[in-house]
Structure 1
Amino acid sequence: MSTFDRAAELPHDLTDDLVDGLGVVRATPLGGGDTASAFRLETARGTLFAKTMADPPAGMMAVEVAGLHALREHVPEFLGVPEVVRWTERGIVQEWIEEAPDRRPPGTEEQCGRGLAALHRARGTAFGGLDPDLPGRIGSFEVDLSPTQDWAAFLLDRRIRPLLRDAVRSGRIAAHAEDLLEELAPRAEELAGPQEPPTLVHGDLWAGNRLVDVRGRNWLIDPSAYWGHREVDIAMMLLFGGFGADCLAAYDAEHPLAPGWQERVPWYQLPPLLVHAVRFGGGYGDAAVRALLRLRG
């Protein structure tokens, strides 16, 4: 048993099954999460990071842990993925990453691009989830991750259509967006791009899920990983910014993207835009409509 006084020293989010035995002497709350609580833990084994949720959807933590394990298995040595120290259905403890100040060392962007190119060479046998015994989830959203060989249909029927339907039903996007999508549906194979084998994707690769440590090493965190198409990650990287031109140039030099990938970006950005529309409202629904209009031409 650990020796701390729980009532005096630790938030109740940090339950015994998550932290007992780690020798936690201090837990400092961290900001930044919109659905979870985060903590810096000072422990007998050094500094660790903990993320907790009071009532997460079933299997959500297990899916994230599986994603972290898969990424660690397939990234090159110079691209980091945090080690999972312990996890429960309500939380994860993992190694601490000491982030760099705002100024990043030269070459950081190129290293990031090269590392992602190496990750995207990992091959699966089918598009879908990492483990058939885990529930189908992308973050908190329930999705169908059963194996399939048809990527274009996977993207249209398991991602874009259901999310757009949810956005319309919740009033987050104009109803005519469904008509726009049905105009585009016959072009689903074209919009998904040339066929590629299933690739391990991070699944939520915005700038906040890529860290750079004090030594200039890039790290990938908080994955929603599955076997998909690498343009999923590329489009997400471009949606909110935060990745330099040198990153994409290095990626394309190592693992060239298929011709026309820039024109496909709006199609691949629809799922994250619709997720954000459902969750946050604001201008995300309008942005999704603009993407549909661009694709319609």
Structure 2
Amino acid sequence: MSELVLSKVSTLLHEDIVGNQPHGGGCIADSRIITTSTGMKYFLKQGGTSNMFVNEANGLREIALSNTILTPKVVGVDNDFLLLDYIEQGPKTSETLFDLGCDLARMHQFTAARYGFYEDNFIGGNPQINTMSDSWADFYFNKRLKYQYQLSKRKGSLTPELQSKFIALEKVFHRILQDSEEKPSLLHGDLWAGNYLINKNGKGVLIDPAVYYGHREADIAMTKLFGGFSPEFYQGYNSTFPLKSGYEYRENIYLLYHVWNHLNLFGTGYYSQTINLMDFYIR
């Protein structure tokens, strides 16, 4: 834990830091629960790179602006730390997960005029490019899938098989998304099961966002990775803002972005899944 960061946080809070407890769960930042001399608790992240924490804070603020779902309040942020309200957690039950689905559906009804975001941010440890676009299909192909393809190429890990599959996918890509157009929804951007909490009052809280405005199906697809969410979550979502017909067919194209990102981050353990997701559309 950086003594410089603790000093900055103490100055920000006008309190002494009397305790800091490691908190697991992230692979990028060093996360701690800190306690002040008055007994207040905060969640502190440090050790990120570049503008990572500033981008995360801006994403949390954007979600809070929607007034639809809870996020931790940003107490302070700098290039080397992010200080958030500490969330006391409660149990994850059928009822709380149903309500979480309803709240996410309401967030997805908070829309913008264009796809993207006012700044780039990060998806895991990789950059996420959010240059605004009037076309969802163009935005998703160029700023999501093609970016991961080009990243593999720059890393020297683009195999002939990956290249040929991607070229074949590009030829059918617009057909895959045909007739699925919707207004740009506010998205969490990285909504796997580790990126939400249930607070002590039974309300869902979104954490660790990679925010942009896009097609809400991209958020829902991400919930299916790494074990997925409960059936009650999806029941709550669809009771509030039903998904359009054909989502199940399009789900894999949205999973592809995150799986390829994991391939670029963590290596060949995600190679076969990346290939299989493309094969779903080009066989």
Give TM-score scaled by structure 2 length: 0.91
1:69-126 Cα deviation digits (max 9, x unpaired): 01111142xx32100011111111101112235xx33401210110010000011011
Are residues 1:80 and 2:70 paired? yes
| Contact 2:193/2:229, CA 8 A, preserved across alignment | yes
Aligned counterpart, 1:100: 90
Which of 29, 35, 56 is the aligned partner of 1:42? Answer: 35
Summarize the alignment of residues 174-185 of structure 1 with structure 2, pairs less than 5 Å apart.
174-185=159-170
Aligned counterpart, 1:281: 267
| Contact 1:39/1:49, CA 8 A, preserved across alignment | yes
Q: In the aligned structure 1, how far is the partner of 2:246 from the partner of 2:80?
A: 42
Are residues 1:150 and 2:142 paired? no
Aligned counterpart, 1:14: 5
| Contact 2:52/2:121, CA 8 A, preserved across alignment | no
The CA RMSD measured in Å over matched residues stands at 2.0
With over 3 angstroms needed to count, the CA separation of the structure-2 counterparts of 1:19 and 1:140, relative to structure 1, is farther
Which of 49, 56, 59 is the aligned partner of 2:49? Answer: 56
Q: In the aligned structure 1, how far is the partner of 2:222 from the partner of 2:94?
A: 24
With over 3 angstroms needed to count, the CA separation of the structure-2 counterparts of 1:21 and 1:66, relative to structure 1, is closer
With over 3 angstroms needed to count, the CA separation of the structure-2 counterparts of 1:151 and 1:47, relative to structure 1, is same
| Pairs aligned (count) | 279
- Give structure 1 regions of 4+ aligned residues with deviation exceeding 3 angstroms: 134-140, 168-174
Q: In the aligned structure 2, how far is the partner of 1:270 from the partner of 1:192?
A: 14
Fraction of identical pairs, as percent: 28
Could you say what secondary structure the match of 1:190 adopts?
Answer: helix
Which of 52, 59, 63 is the aligned partner of 1:67? Answer: 59
Which of 258, 276, 281 is the aligned partner of 1:290? Answer: 276
Aligned counterpart, 1:128: 116
Shift in Å, 1:150: 1.1
Summarize the alignment of residues 161-200 of structure 1 with structure 2, pairs less than 5 Å apart.
161-170=146-155, 172=157, 174-193=159-178, 194-200=180-186
Aligned counterpart, 1:252: 238
Give TM-score scaled by structure 1 length: 0.87
| Contact 1:64/1:223, CA 8 A, preserved across alignment | yes
| Contact 2:197/2:204, CA 8 A, preserved across alignment | yes
With over 3 angstroms needed to count, the CA separation of the structure-2 counterparts of 1:42 and 1:160, relative to structure 1, is same
Aligned counterpart, 1:261: 247
| Contact 2:56/2:121, CA 8 A, preserved across alignment | no
Q: In the aligned structure 2, how far is the partner of 1:175 from the partner of 1:75?
A: 47
Q: Give 1 or 2: higher helix fraction.
A: 2
| Contact 1:60/1:139, CA 8 A, preserved across alignment | no
1:158-178 Cα deviation digits (max 9, x unpaired): 111221232355465643122
- In structure 1, stretches of 5+ residues that fail to align are 1-9
Q: In the aligned structure 2, how far is the partner of 1:135 from the partner of 1:267?
A: 22
